[in-house]
Structure 1
Amino acid sequence: MKVDRVLVTGAGGQLGTVLVKTLRKLKGVENVLATDLHIKPEDKGLIFPLDATNEEAVAEMVLGNKITQIYHLAAILSAKGEEDPLLTWNTNLKSLFAILEVARKYNLDKIFFPSSIAVFGASAPKENTPQDAYLDPTTVYGTSKAAGEQWANYYFKKYKVDVRSLRYPGIIGYQSLPGGGTTDYAVEIYHKAVNKEPYICYLKEDTTLPMIYMNDAVRATLELMEAPAEKIKTRTSYNLNALSFTPSQVVESIKKWYPNFKVTYKEDYREAIAQSWPSSILDTQAQEDWQWQPHYLLDDISNEMITELKKKYNLHSQL
């Protein structure tokens, strides 16, 4: 029986941190090679250096480790990306081309490419945004993801490269700090709450965005990748829905554990980015093609975030 040998780029990021651990449990530590451009001291020996924009380096890593699948997570995210648009474009697209070309040349089994709700702009309905809504993103990150979706579809149709993709909403997880996304408030706010510190939110209190808990995001990724190829009907990227909420709704949920938690609202440039995105999305195709269903609601997320962050900060005995 053929053994999957998996390469993960961007493994030190928010999603990569959890996805790598899950993949290693499922496929064996020896069969999952985690890589990133920058390695944190605590990750040495667990994550290995790789510049994913360097096709030759990617090919060497793939061939030297008999890789059969790649989860290409490396990217510069939305808010961070606006600080240097050309660098973001070059990094996000050049790395994708390197991965796609290696997959094409060496007949890899599957590629995962994450997209984002950032692909949507003013032309998409704000509520219940459908799978086939027109894409006119307002950030370079969103533009790079929209272009990446088309290239993924092109490589599938022209070269039969099995590329699969999800349009992630904002991802909430306790395992690591986020890396420069517009939805990062929904992670940062829990860190402040468990440390009994006030939080200054950079979005308006009533700005609604689609979100997903980390466990659901990882499960969706693996379910998509494990689905039979004939079930995958969308080769750009699937809408992925879990729940939508506002910062004030997160605060109300947190107050069930921390009644005195204080939040003030001081919007910055990220509010304009958030306003260009959908407030809710439809993922009918994901439900129909590979039976996607989320598990976590907002209070479930709050309960798990608070429980796990208290452990992380060694706050077992207090609320």
Structure 2
Amino acid sequence: MDKILVTGALGQIGSELVMKLREVYGADHVVATDLRSSAHEITQSGPFELLDVTNAKAMFEIAKQYEVDTIIHLAALLSATAEEKPLLAWNLNMGGLMNALEVAREQGCQFFTPSSIGAFGPSTPKDNTPQDTIQRPNTMYGVNKVSGELLCDYYFHKYGLDTRGLRFPGLISYMTPPGGGTTDYAVEIYYAAVTAGRYTSYIARDTNMDMMYMPDALDAIITLMEADSSRLTHRNSFNVTAMSVDPEAIAAAIRAEIPGFVLDYDVDPKRQAIADSWPHSIDATAARTEWGFQPRYDLQAMTKDMLCKIGERQLLRKA
């Protein structure tokens, strides 16, 4: 990767990935784009362009202007929001992806877009979900992700486009507020622990889902993109995970640092139904074998870092 274009740069992953990429490859080598602009470090620390990813012409012009050789396509509606607005989700998630793939094909770019555990469905094996298994999701977000995996495979086989991707679990970060995902409770719970000492979970007790701390997710993207292409068998849909947890497990880890923390429940049937359709745990053997995936954070290490960083941010806001 030399000149990198990132769509959805102000989103949950993009807002941290852009800064990581600029640190590794140089600020001028990472072009950030988003539908909106703001007084954000990303818009001020390197090239930034406004971009609606459903506008293919505008995307092509930016890619050509900056002579990019890599496209990291992150712009998308997340699971809970996509279920509320399925037509918008299809038009944005699939239309934007098709535009990005076409720009990558015309420019000869390496290409990355994330998939998700949402690509699995109720009939997928729930425990230690295999890399290659049945995928029949019952959400618009899941349908988008399965379609995206197949579409990227198609562009690789038909056009030789170097497409790569990861099936992310829930991503936990102290940097960016939740953005409409089913696993957002796992971010909200840490903020609530620091600011209020208690949290009401919309996901039920004993609902296990895979999670990963954002620093591990960023490292996984870069490691996969730098991997020797000849080693990759699966390319566009590697299972990756760091932990399988339910709300009680996160609460217990928080209580090790904040003993008085209280966890309540008020289950949201819509988001619970999405969570129930997903795996309890997934098998990341292919990612470890083909390109050396290895997360650094377990639940305890992530919890300590999350609470510390959120506490520091709260102090800065009060100062």
Please state which band the TM-score falls in when normalised by the shorter chain: over 0.9
5 Å-filtered alignment, 1:136-285, equals 136-268=136-268, 269-285=270-286
Cα distance in 2, alignment partners of residues 14 and 235 from structure 1? 23
User: Corresponding residue for 2:62?
Assistant: 61
In structure 1, how many angstroms separate the alpha carbons of the residues matched to 2:316 and 2:161? Answer: 48
Deviations 1:131-179 (A, max 9, x none): 1111111210111010000000000000001010000000011111121
Query: Post-superposition shift, 1:241?
Result: 2.0
Which string of whole-angstrom CA distances, capped at 9 and with x for unpartnered residues, describes residues 273-297 of structure 1? 0000001000111111011111111
Alpha-carbon separation, structure 2, partners of 1:193 and 1:315: 17
Partner residue in 2 for 1:314? 315
Q: In the alignment, is the contact (CA less than 8 A) between 1:156 and 1:235 conserved in 2?
A: no
Rounded Cα–Cα distance in structure 1 between residues aligned with 2:121 and 2:11: 25
Moved over 3 A (4+): 41-47
Matched with 2:18 is 20
- Corresponding letter in the other structure for 1:14: Q
Task: Give the distance between the partners of 1:243 and 1:77, measured in 2 at CA.
Answer: 21
**Structure 1: where are the runs of 5+ without partners?**
none
1:14-51 Cα distance to aligned partner (Å, 9 max, x none): 11111111100011001101111122333544543111
Task: State the alpha-carbon separation in 2 of the partners of residues 236 and 4 from structure 1.
Answer: 21
Residues 51 and 157 (structure 1 numbering): CA distance in 2 closer, same or farther, change over 3 Å? same
Q: Per-residue deviation at 1:197?
A: 4.2
Structure 1 length as normaliser, TM-score? 0.95
Cα distance in 1 for partners of 2:131, 2:257 equals 37
Corresponding residue to 1:31 among 29, 32, 55: 29
Check the 8 A contact 2:197/2:260 in 1, yes or no: no
Q: Deviations over 1:84-137 (max 9, x none)?
A: 1011011000000001111111212x1001000000001211000001111111
Paired letter, 1:277: W
For 1:144 and 1:122, locate their aligned partners in 2 and report how far apart those are by CA, in whole Å: 16
TM-score (norm 2): 0.95
**Cα distance in 2 for residues equivalent to 1:276 and 1:76:** 19
- Asked whether the 8 Å contact 1:13–1:178 carries over to 2, the reply is no
- Cα RMSD of the aligned pairs, angstroms, is 1.5
Structure 2 residue identity aligned to 1:209? M
Q: Which consecutive residues of structure 2, in runs of 5 or more, have no partner in the other structure? A: none
Percent identity over the alignment is 45
Q: What secondary structure sits across from 1:314 in the alignment?
A: helix
- Contact 2:69–2:107 under 8 Å retained in 1: no
Structure 1 residue aligned with 2:39:
41
Distance 2:112 2:106 in 1: 17
Q: Helix, strand or coil for the counterpart of 2:296?
A: coil
Deviation of 1:232 (Å): 1.4
Q: For 1:288 and 1:45, how far apart are their aligned partners in 2?
A: 39
| Letter of the structure 2 residue corresponding to residue 313 of structure 1 | Q
Greater alpha carbon shift after TM alignment, 39-48 vs 126-135: 39-48
Post-superposition offset of 1:198? 2.5
Match of 1:11, SS? coil
AA paired with 2:113?
A: F
**What residue identity is the alignment partner of 2:230?**
E
- Judge conservation of contact 1:82–1:140 (CA < 8 Å) in 2: yes
SS in 2 for 1:167: strand
The 3-state SS of whatever aligns with 1:207 is: coil
Superposed CA deviations along residues 202-249 of structure 1, whole A, max 9, x for unmatched, are: 001210000001011111111000001111111331111211001011
- 1:305 equivalent in alignment to 2:306: yes
